[in-house]
Amino acid sequence: MSASAALAAPPDTIARPQFRHAAYVGVHSAEYGGGSHYASLNYEWWLSPRVSVRAGIGGVHRSYPVYTEVFDPVTGRVSYEEVGQHRYNSLLLTSQVRYFLWPARRPAAGLFVGAGLQLVFEEFQQPRTSYSNYVSDIQVHVPLSTRIGYQLRKGRWLLSGSTGLDFTRRDEVQFDPQRPGQGGREVHVTAGSDLQVGFLF
């Protein structure tokens, strides 16, 4: 055996990924805003056996009827009349970098940590009624997300689950007669999680 062969670095125990891309469908769960659970579609690209970047899009739509009370002075009865629909729409854009801590000698599988930014657009709509002048509102959030999770692989199929914290800055309005105009921006810390099925290509 030559001296150069004896001094050569040991081979990497993690194989180079045969497939460098993956697509996922699943559910993104969040406590900020009113979205709760988003149906999501994600794309992942491996930069190395341990590091990948992800981008995703998700959305949610909910609606339910809004009623107002109607009093009949003749019968003395109260009935409820539908005055419209309360609607909630939200669009979610996500970006994340993942690092696989324990790849189990297989690319695209094992224990990972991740961090990234999210962009959340929320629209609230409610019909104008006699007891509320609230009609519509649009809010935008930019949470910073942190995740820890595990990914299973069977052939080209992937099952990925993660949980972590989302950090969101929001405007806070405080009413104090002695100090008018007080308020500011505070950081809200909420829980988040993801469960997705993916396919390598």
pLDDT in tens, 137-181: 778 889 999 999 999 999 999 999 999 999 988 654 444 445 444
Could you tell me the pTM of the whole model? 0.74
| Residue 79 structure tokens | 């009935």
What is the tens place of the pLDDT at every residue in 30-48? 877 666 789 999 999 999 9
- Residue given tokens 């149906």 in the structure block: 39
Q: Which residues pair with 143 in a beta bridge?
A: none
Query: Residue 65: pLDDT band by 50, 70, 90 thresholds?
Result: confident
- In Å, the largest CA–CA distance within the chain is 107
Please tell me the predicted confidence (pLDDT) of residue 11.
47
Least Cα distance to 92 among 61, 116, 56 occurs for 56
Predicted pLDDT at 17: 59
Distance CA 43, CA 55 (A): 5
pLDDT-derived band of residue 62, with 50, 70 and 90 as boundaries?
confident
Write down the mean pLDDT value for the chain: 81
**pLDDT, average across residues 95-102:** 94
Burial of 93 (0-12, 13-18, 19+ CB in 10 A): middle
Whether domain 18-63+90-123+136-200 has CATH 2.60.120.460: no
d(CA 28, CA 107): 24
Q: What is the pLDDT of residue 58?
A: 94
pLDDT > 80? residue 119: yes
Q: Are strands 183-200 and 77-102 parallel, antiparallel or unpaired?
A: unpaired
- Confidence category of residue 132, pLDDT binned at 50, 70, 90: low
